[in-house]
């Protein structure tokens, strides 16, 4: 029999949905963005728009190169879309995922039908186009952000020290290899000040191109005329930032373990407050023996279902307590009777887990490690691999497969 929600329950549900909608709708503005009108437009509901929407929807959940850089493409011939995303080298994994999630949604709002566009947040950048951008040094889009306070004494020494710091960091970043070109550091400046700086190039650039790009940023700083106590130059392929206070996090060489973006995007954490106002201008190998694995497929499409079930469950539990009755919250799901229906080919699992890469390892169980993976259809999976020296027998392992399967919803 159908049940009607009480007025209070209905109100709670409506408020819950409104809060989610509001959180999703409110996206932070870019520090800088561009829409290239001379590169062509796409029409609504076109194949290009469909390809673009698909590419942007999957980008935040991809692993990228493991260090916060993403280079993806989707589609064919004239409808092919290319996208490049990059997180700041000191960004935490959750900040990186959230920032990219915001960028993929916000950029198409600002540039609703331009085939080429780009946007920069404090902790990430995103570009897309109908042409390949990988490996190309581009300085066409330049933005300067600076503190209003001028350096009032020992200006020449301040400028010399800043240039010396940039040269040191530029060489470090450019030599960073094809995974990450990022460096931070500081230097003592006149009047007992400490200068802090951060430089980053997209890692697809060559050593020479990264050097040239960062040299260009310093020329833009000098173009301001009066030397400022802090500033930032954003160029399409690189950026340079300096301040007289510490504004970046300490970094390690370990890859980023990116987490999936949240339903309600989280704004990037602000930099430590500056005492000055700012102004902006400018447009590994693995065991190859065959194994039985447990697969848990996680589909992003069930997130909304989980939220809805959670609300309904809360309401049902409240009414059950009042009436001192129990009532099942879920319909029984279909049970899986045969472990064979859960088996995938070892080659498929090997590809999904990047040959059981240590970077994808989630943990270690009593009978073997568990890895994160992604199937060719985009579904995320968790893979348990039975160790060679495990005391667990084949039948016990199959029983565990069936037990886990019975505990899961059919859409997981």
Q: What does the pLDDT look like over 105-153, one tens digit per residue?
A: 999 999 999 999 999 999 999 999 999 999 999 988 899 999 999 999 9
Looking at per-residue confidence, does 31 or 225 come out higher? 31
The 369-374 sheet, strands edge to edge? 293-298, 380-385, 369-374, 361-364
Q: How many CB atoms lie within 10 A of CB 286?
A: 14
Among residues 129, 164, 199, the one where a domain terminates is 129
271 and 155 in one domain? Answer: yes
Q: How confident is the model at residue 182 (pLDDT cuts 50, 70, 90)?
A: very high
pLDDT of residue 198 exceeding 90: yes
23-77 pLDDT per residue, tens:
445 788 999 999 999 999 999 999 999 999 999 999 999 888 999 999 999 999 9
Distances (CA, A) of 97 to 180, 262, 307, 361, 377: 17, 8, 21, 19, 21
Rg of the chain on CA atoms, in Å = 26
In a shared domain, residues 105 and 151: no
Residue 115: what pLDDT?
A: 97
Q: What is the pLDDT of residue 145?
A: 93
- Per-residue confidence (pLDDT) for residue 336, from 0 to 100: 41
| Confidence class for position 366, pLDDT limits 50, 70, 90 | low
Query: How big, in percent rounded to 5, are the helix, strand and coil portions of the chain?
Result: 35, 20, 40
Residue 123 sits in the same domain as residue 213: no
pLDDT of residue 200: 98
pLDDT of residue 364: 63
Q: Same domain, yes or no, for 270 and 151?
A: yes
Please report whether residue 98 resides in a domain.
yes
pLDDT mean across residues, the chain? 75
Is the model more confident about 236 or about 10?
236
Residue spans of beta strands (DSSP E) within 75-160: 81-87, 117-120, 124-129, 142-147
Regarding whether 150 and 97 lie in a shared domain, the answer is no
Higher pLDDT, 57 or 282: 57
**Residues of the chain above pLDDT 90, percent:** 49
Residue 10 lies in a domain: no
Let me know if residue 8 belongs to a domain.
Answer: no
- The pLDDT value recorded for residue 2 is 43
What CATH number corresponds to the domain at position 117? 3.30.430.20
On the question of pLDDT at 83 being above 60, the answer is yes
pLDDT given for residue 327 in this prediction:
37
Rounded average pLDDT over 175-180: 94
Domain hosting 382: range is 293-300+334-407
Least confident range of 39-48, 89-98, 221-230, 246-255? 246-255
- Rounded to an integer, the average pLDDT of 157-183 is 96
- On the question of pLDDT at 179 being above 60, the answer is yes
Q: Tell whether 247 and 206 lie within a shared domain.
A: yes
Q: Which of the 8 DSSP states describes residue 402?
A: H
Q: What is the pLDDT of residues 395-410, one digit of tens each?
A: 555 555 554 554 443 3
Number of domains in the chain: 3
Is 92 a member of any domain?
A: yes
Q: Is 110 found in the same domain as 31?
A: yes
- Domain presence at residue 153: yes
CATH number, domain with residue 396:
3.30.200.20
Residues 177, 227, single domain; the answer is yes
- pTM equals 0.58
Residue 273, pLDDT > 80, answer: no
On whether both 188 and 108 belong to a single domain, the answer is no
**Residue among 150, 151, 105 nearest 124 (CA):** 105
Instruction: Check residue 275 and give its pLDDT.
Output: 35
Q: Indicate whether 165 belongs to any domain.
A: yes
One domain, residues 236 and 154: yes
Q: Residue 317 falls within a domain, yes or no?
A: no
Q: If you average pLDDT over residues 255-278, what whole number do you get?
A: 41
Residue 282 pLDDT level (bands cut at 50, 70, 90): low
- In the sheet that holds 117-120, the strands lie side by side as 32-35, 117-120, 124-129, 81-87, 69-74
pLDDT at 27: 82
Asked whether residue 115 falls in the same domain as residue 198, the answer is no
Query: Are 173 and 106 in a shared domain?
Result: no
pLDDT at residue 329 in the model: 34
Q: Last residue of a domain, which of 129, 157, 189? A: 129
Residue that is last in its domain, among 215, 249, 281: 281
Least confident stretch, 44-53, 209-218, 260-269:
260-269
In a domain, 214, yes or no: yes
Q: Identify the band that residue 379 occupies on the pLDDT scale cut at 50, 70 and 90.
A: confident
Give the position of tokens 């129990």: 326
């Amino acid at each position: 029999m159908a049940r009607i929600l009480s007025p209070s329950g209905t109100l709670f549900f409506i408020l819950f949905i409104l809060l989610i909608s509001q959180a999703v709708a409110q996206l932070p503005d870019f520090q800088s963005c561009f829409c290239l009108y001379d590169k062509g437009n796409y029409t609504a509901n076109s194949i290009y728009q469909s390809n673009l929407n698909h590419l942007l929807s999957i980008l935040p959940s991809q692993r990228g190169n493991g260090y916060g850089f993403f280079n993806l493409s989707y589609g064919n011939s004239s409808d092919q879309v290319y996208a490049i995303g990059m997180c700041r080298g000191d960004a935490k994994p959750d900040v990186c995922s959230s920032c990219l999630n915001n960028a993929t949604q916000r950029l198409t709002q600002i540039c609703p039908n331009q085939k080429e566009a780009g946007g920069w947040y404090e902790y990430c950048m995103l570009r897309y186009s109908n042409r390949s951008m990988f490996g190309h040094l581009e300085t066409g889009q330049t933005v300067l952000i600076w503190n209003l306070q001028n350096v009032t004494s020992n200006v020449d020494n301040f400028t010399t020290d800043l240039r010396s710091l940039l040269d040191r960091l530029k060489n470090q970043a450019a030599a960073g290899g094809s995974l990450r070109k990022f460096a931070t550091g500081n230097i003592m400046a006149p009047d007992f000040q400490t200068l802090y700086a951060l430089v980053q190039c997209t890692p697809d650039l060559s050593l020479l191109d990264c050097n040239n790009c960062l040299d260009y940023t310093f020329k833009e700083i000098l173009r301001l005329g009066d030397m400022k106590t802090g500033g930032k130059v954003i160029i399409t392929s690189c950026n340079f930032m300096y301040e007289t206070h510490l504004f970046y996090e300490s970094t390690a060489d370990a890859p980023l373990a990116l987490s999936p973006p949240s339903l309600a995007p989280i704004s990037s954490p602000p930099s430590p407050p500056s005492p000055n106002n700012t102004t902006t201008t400018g447009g590994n190998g693995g065991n190859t023996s065959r194994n039985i694995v447990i697969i848990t497929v996680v589909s992003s499409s069930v997130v909304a279902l989980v939220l809805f079930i959670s609300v309904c469950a809360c309401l049902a539990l409240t009414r059950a307590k009042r009436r001192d009755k129990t009532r099942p919250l879920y319909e029984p799901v279909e049970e899986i009777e045969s472990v064979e229906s859960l088996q995938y080919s070892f080659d498929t699992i090997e590809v999904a887990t990047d040959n059981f890469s240590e970077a994808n390892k989630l943990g270690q169980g009593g009978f073997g490690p568990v890895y994160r993976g992604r199937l060719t259809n985009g579904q995320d999976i968790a893979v348990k691999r039975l160790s060679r020296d495990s005391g667990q027998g084949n039948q016990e392992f199959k029983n565990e497969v069936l037990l886990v399967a019975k505990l899961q919803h059919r859409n997981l």
